[in-house]
């Protein structure tokens, strides 16, 4: 991420821009925040496209179709908003806290076979969704593939066609894109001015080139010049050196010169993942540890960004915060969050007011605290879901939380019950979610019953890789209606050493769905977590 330059607008549509992420053939990409605090990627097109009415019309159609794909494809980044009529048209998509494939391979080298299988199966399923809505991606390449802990994401679907509609060609007549990943019909069609030559099989060829790059660390057509490279794409066999033998037949079939000879995206997905699809491959932990560590560092950068970047005053550009803001100031000072904008990972806020525990409740000796950033770094690097470090409440200018945020509401004033109601008892399971978009792991919650002031159960959370476990003991502090509040503290003997948050935190459980759903929220002096738990089976 790079700071905004003097010629970058501080706000695009309803999104405050925070950093530059990338610059491509279509435009610049920025990290942004929505008014409700969601982190987004905002792509603003280059001025040369903005003056072309054909581009604007095609851009509007492609974005509308891309919205449908984002709503149905499991391995695509959803399109959230767009404005084709803006002076510089733009589109906002969900932000994926992970590197693109080009960067990942450049940093760690060729990826393991299991990673390439999950990558190919997920991207093939994304193409099934793209083609199912009548779109052809036309620009499947490593920089358009993002790697998240919960699977790959194919981005920019449909947008490349809008660029082609503007008639923008390179000096050799080849349409904008990455020549090393273009199909033969794409190259020949561009040279002949025939965009109709491109169809769904084009995306399969490009995906084959992407998988070859992921498995071998280099593209299958390594020309030293653009002319030589394009000649190889059209006339020469691909170089499959370095690709593991078990992947070569499929990659070779995907790189067939004739479109009709290539497998369909569905066939590619089944060849790589079987009938179960890509999801089981991803759940098993699909990324190399070095890539997961990088995702953790990027998540921590987002924390630093909110602490180091001030909101734009009166539409001005963002700038450094002059001094750290304490937790009480963040909750009460109007300067902590600008009107209309709420950071997705905010300045620390105090825990919401909750009914006090009776005097008889035992006290817990204070434990040494690690800093939030250090704890979050450790948890995210390992992909852990240690309680109290995941979903972040967001202060509004008056101290109230933004709509849609995971908040703990104050229950109506009712007589405090001394016993944990029977409806809460038993085992509950569900997935936790980090507010920055990274899965937080799977929790098993066991409630055995008891009175206020007593230990009534425990929560066991496994990391997304299935390697480490954090077990928190729960002491009931109050019950009011369908809500129970607990103090939770790490059981160090039952937990993986050095990977869990050690300080005490507040946990709130709320019964929903006629007692069949338990909504989980944890409250930490700096952060919290959220999830929906169900009874197993």
**Which domains, and CATH codes, for the chain?**
11-287 (1.10.510.10), 329-534 (no CATH)
d(CA 134, CA 200): 9
Would you state the pLDDT for residue 194? Answer: 53
d(CA 428, CA 449): 14
The pLDDT confidence band at residue 228, using thresholds 50, 70 and 90, is confident
The verdict on whether 139 is a catalytic residue reads yes
Between 150 and 357, residue with greater pLDDT:
150
Please give the torsion angle defined by the CA atoms of residues 498, 501, 502 and 504, in that order, rounded to the nearest 10 degrees: -170
- Sign of the CA dihedral 62, 64, 68, 73? positive
Contact 204, 212 (CB under 8 A): no
d(CA 534, CA 503): 27
Pair of tokens at residue 495: 């937990």
**Among 97-111, 299-313, 375-389, 415-429, which stretch is predicted with the lowest mean pLDDT?**
375-389
Beta bridge partners of 519: 510, 532
The pLDDT confidence band at residue 286, using thresholds 50, 70 and 90, is very high
**Among 26-40, 144-158, 204-218, 399-413, which stretch is predicted with the lowest mean pLDDT?**
399-413
Residue 213 clears pLDDT 80, i.e. is over it: yes
Q: Which residues contact 525 (CB under 8 A, 6 or more apart)?
A: 327, 348, 350, 351, 505
Would you state the pLDDT for residue 348? Answer: 35
**Among 56-60, 86-90, 326-330, 462-466, which stretch is predicted with the lowest mean pLDDT?**
326-330
Catalytic, out of 52, 100, 139, 472: 139
Percent pLDDT > 90 in the chain is 30
Please give the sequence-ordered ranges of beta strands (E in DSSP) within 247-378, or none if there are none.
Answer: 309-310, 319-320
d(CA 158, CA 153): 14
**Among 172-186, 386-400, 496-510, which stretch is predicted with the lowest mean pLDDT?**
386-400
pLDDT in tens, 29-47: 999 988 877 888 898 988 8
Would you state the pLDDT for residue 160? Answer: 47
CB-count burial class (<10 Å; 0-12, 13-18, 19+) for 197: middle
Whole-angstrom CA distances from 537 to 10, 427, 520 are: 50, 11, 19
The pLDDT confidence band at residue 253, using thresholds 50, 70 and 90, is very high
The mean pLDDT value of the chain amounts to: 74
Tell me the average pLDDT across 282-310: 75
The three-state (H, E, C) secondary structure of 39-63, written as one string: EEEEEEECHHHHCCHHHHHHHHHHH
What distance separates the 2 farthest-apart alpha carbons in the chain?
84
Residue 155 clears pLDDT 60, i.e. is over it: yes
First to last CA, the chain: 44
Residue 328 clears pLDDT 50, i.e. is over it: no
Q: How many CB atoms lie within 10 A of CB 383?
A: 26
Would you state the pLDDT for residue 331? Answer: 32
**Among 42-56, 355-369, 467-481, which stretch is predicted with the lowest mean pLDDT?**
355-369
Would you state the pLDDT for residue 190? Answer: 59
d(CA 269, CA 276): 10
Would you state the pLDDT for residue 345? Answer: 33
pTM over 0.85: no
């Amino acid at each position: 991420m790079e700071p905004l330059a003097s010629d970058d607008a501080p706000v695009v549509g309803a999104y405050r821009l925070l950093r530059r992420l990338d610059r491509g053939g279509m435009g610049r990409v920025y990290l942004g925040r929505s008014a409700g605090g969601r982190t987004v990627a905002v792509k603003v097109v280059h001025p040369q496209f903005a003056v072309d009415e054909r581009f604007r019309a095609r851009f509007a159609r492609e974005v509308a179709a891309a919205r449908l794909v984002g709503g149905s494809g499991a391995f695509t980044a959803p399109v959230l908003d767009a404005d084709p009529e803006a002076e510089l048209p733009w589109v906002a998509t969900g932000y994926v806290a992970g590197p693109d494939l080009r960067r990942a391979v450049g940093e760690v080298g060729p990826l393991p076979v299991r990673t390439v299988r999950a990558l190919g199966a997920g991207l093939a399923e994304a193409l099934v969704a793209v083609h199912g809505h009548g779109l052809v991606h036309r620009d499947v390449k490593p920089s358009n593939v993002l790697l998240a802990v919960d699977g790959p994401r194919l981005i920019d679907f449909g947008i490349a066609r809008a660029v082609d509609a503007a008639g923008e060609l390179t000096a050799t007549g080849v349409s904008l894109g990455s020549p090393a990943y273009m199909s033969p019909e794409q190259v020949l069609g561009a040279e002949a001015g025939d965009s109709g030559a491109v169809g769904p099989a084009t995306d399969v060829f490009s995906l084959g080139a992407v998988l070859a790059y992921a498995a071998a660390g280099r593209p299958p057509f390594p020309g030293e010049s653009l002319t030589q490279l394009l000649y190889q794409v059209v006339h020469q066999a691909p170089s499959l050196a370095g690709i593991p033998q078990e992947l070569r037949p499929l990659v070779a079939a995907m790189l067939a010169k004739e479109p009709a000879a290539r497998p369909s995206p569905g066939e590619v997905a089944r060849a790589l993942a079987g009938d179960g699809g890509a999801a089981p491959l991803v759940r098993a932990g699909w990324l190399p540890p070095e890539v997961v560590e990088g995702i953790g560092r990027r998540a921590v950068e987002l924390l630093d960004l909110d602490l180091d970047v001030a909101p734009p005053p009166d539409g001005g550009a963002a700038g450094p915060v002059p001094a750290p803001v304490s937790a009480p100031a963040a909750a009460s000072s109007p300067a902590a969050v600008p009107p209309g904008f709420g950071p997705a990972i905010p300045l620390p806020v105090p825990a919401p007011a909750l009914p006090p525990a009776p005097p008889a409740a035992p006290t817990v000796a204070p434990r040494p605290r690690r800093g939030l950033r250090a704890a979050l770094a450790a948890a995210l690097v390992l992909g852990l879901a240690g309680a109290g470090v995941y979903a972040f409440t967001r202060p509004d200018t008056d101290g109230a939380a933004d709509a849609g945020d995971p908040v703990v509401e104050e229950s109506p004033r009712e007589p405090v019950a001394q016993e944990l109601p029977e409806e809460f008892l038993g085992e509950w399971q569900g997935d936790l979610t980090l507010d920055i978009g990274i899965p937080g792991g799977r929790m098993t919650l066991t409630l055995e019953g008891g009175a206020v002031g007593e230990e009534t159960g425990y929560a066991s959370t496994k990391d997304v890789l299935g390697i480490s476990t954090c077990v928190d003991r729960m002491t009931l502090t109050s019950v009011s209606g369908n809500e129970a509040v607990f103090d939770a503290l790490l059981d160090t003997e039952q937990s993986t050493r050095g990977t869990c948050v050690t300080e005490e935190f507040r946990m709130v459980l709320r019964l929903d769905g006629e007692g069949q759903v338990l909504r989980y929220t944890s409250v930490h002096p700096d952060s919290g977590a959220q999830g929906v738990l169900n009874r197993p089976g």
